[in-house]
Amino acid sequence: MQLKNDRYLRALLKQPVDRTPVWMMRQAGRYLPEYRATRAQAGDFMSLCKNPELACEVTLQPLRRYALDAAILFSDILTIPDAMGLGLYFGEGEGPKFQRPVRDFVDIANLPIPDPEQELRYVMDAVRTIRRELNGSVPLIGFSGSPWTLATYMVEGGSSKTFGTIKKMMFSEPEALHLLLDKLAQSVVLYLNAQIAAGAQSVMIFDTWGGVLTPRDYQEFSLGYMQQIVNGLTREADGRKVPVTLFTKNGGLWLEAIANTGCDALGLDWTINIGDAKARVGDKVALQGNMDPSILLGSPERIRQEVQMILDGFGQGTGHVFNLGHGITPDVDPERVSVFIDAVHAFSRTYHMN
Ligand code: CP3
């Protein structure tokens, strides 16, 4: 079926568009009262992820409020470690935790590589349900965590500030960590290719914690495995290219290396000027980003001003997908999101006139 709005896919492939497409990381989430109501109905966050009808419902909620140019599958990056048997849970008011973190070579050697249509079938069912319900209105983004980012949660047992446990493994048992990262890379390739087969029209890899590494360790323990994934992905479906976006938070110093993987687009956080990023890698890849999500806590005037500055920073032409530099936070007023989306729509046309 023909997509009614394909600006997002076109911009990722640097094809001409009439205005800059926009979506928001974590666009389905706790800042929306309707999300909180559906989550309460599901019971908890993982029950919401595991119910394809409700996952579809929360995926569509932000699209009913705002003229977004893409939908993102409602799920989590930690579904893969959960499917490997680590026992994911979310304590009330806490981040993610694992009942059985991996600690040594034996734990890692015993980890299975999940079959996406078995242990992760609920994700594929959600993708199929969402594609059906979107009915060609906008493209659907599939996603996964990067092997390094998934490994941080699996080895630390949850969120961390210092990454002491995984770094200890990195410096004392690098073979064990490499085995884990290789299993994760294989799992992510199967998982993303299954999402594409189920209907995802583009995929994004979230490397939230690559930026805590030294440049050399980033290359060896994070980027190398994202490269393995890029090499293994299905890049075409239904006669269209399936663009791949890599996002390393705090990865602004390494844009050239990330662009060299052969991905189609880079996600940028707000610590880099988008014009500088374009000058460095804009001939190779499209750019997604990069407004500080906290700007959404500011006044409507301040939000409009920031949107204008980022559009100006990128300048004329295609190759830009407007987004936040990280996920929207639960304290944002949904009205401010309207101001943001409307500003991107209104101000971006003049950058696509020729
Ligand atoms: O963008 C979207 O709307 C799609 C859904 C999505 C979620 N998580 C839903 C979610 C996506 C793409 C993710 C990715 C994810 N999950 C990442 C990478 C991106 C990033 O934010 O850095 C990471 C590191 C995770 C792991 C994770 N899941 C954490 C650290 C948390 C707790 C965060 C918090 O704010 O409490 C989650 C839970 C989670 N994932 C929520 C949502 C909407 C909040 C859960 C709730 O409803 O209480």
pLDDT tens across 55-108, in order?
A: 999 999 999 999 999 999 999 999 999 999 999 999 877 899 999 999 999 999
Inside any domain, residue 353: no
- Dihedral over alpha carbons 251, 252, 255, 261 (to 10 degrees): 20
Residue 301 lies in a domain: no
Nearest C-alpha neighbor of 71 from the set 31, 32, 24, 37: 24
Pocket test for ligand 1, best of 22, 23, 24, 26 (most atoms within 8 A of CB): 26
Where residue 1 falls among pLDDT bands split at 50, 70, 90? confident
Residues 1-14: what's their mean pLDDT? Answer: 95
| Ligand 1 pocket by Cβ (under 6 Å) | 25-30, 39, 45, 72, 74-78, 95-96, 143, 159, 206, 208, 327
pLDDT band (50, 70, 90) for residue 324: very high
What is the SS3 assignment for 72? Answer: strand
Residue 94's domain spans which residues? 21-289
pTM of the model: 0.97
Task: Identify residue 123 by its one-letter amino acid code.
Answer: V
What is the distance between the alpha carbons of residues 91 and 103, in angstroms, rounded to a whole number? 21
- Report if residue 270 sits inside a domain: yes
Output the pLDDT for position 94: 82
Question: Rounded to the nearest 5 degrees, what angle is found at the Cα of 223, between the Cα atoms of 222 and 229?
Answer: 100
Whether residue 295 is contained in a domain is answered as: no
What percentage of the chain has pLDDT greater than the value 90?
Answer: 98
pLDDT, tens digit, 9 for 90 and up, residues 142-180: 999 999 999 999 999 999 999 999 999 999 999 999 999
Residue 55 lies in a domain: yes
In this structure, what CATH number is given to the domain that contains residue 62? 3.20.20.210
SS3 letters across 214-252: CHHHHHHHHHHHHHHHHHHCCCEECCEECCEEEEECCCH
Write down the pLDDT at residue 267. Answer: 98
Asked whether the predicted pLDDT for residue 18 surpasses 80, the reply is yes
Residue 339 lies in a domain: no
Alpha carbon of 74 to ligand 1 centroid (Å): 9
Q: Three-state SS for 35?
A: helix
Mean pLDDT of 16-31: 98
Asked whether residue 237 is domain-assigned, the answer is: yes
Q: Other C-beta atoms within 10 Å of 100: how many?
A: 14
Neighbours of 230 (CB within 10 A): 17
Q: Does residue 325 lie within any of the structural domains?
A: no
Query: What value does the mean pLDDT of the chain take?
Result: 97
Of 39, 131, 304, 336, which is the active-site residue?
Answer: 39
- Token pair listed for 149: 């980012």
Total domains present in the chain: 1
- DSSP 3-state of 288: strand
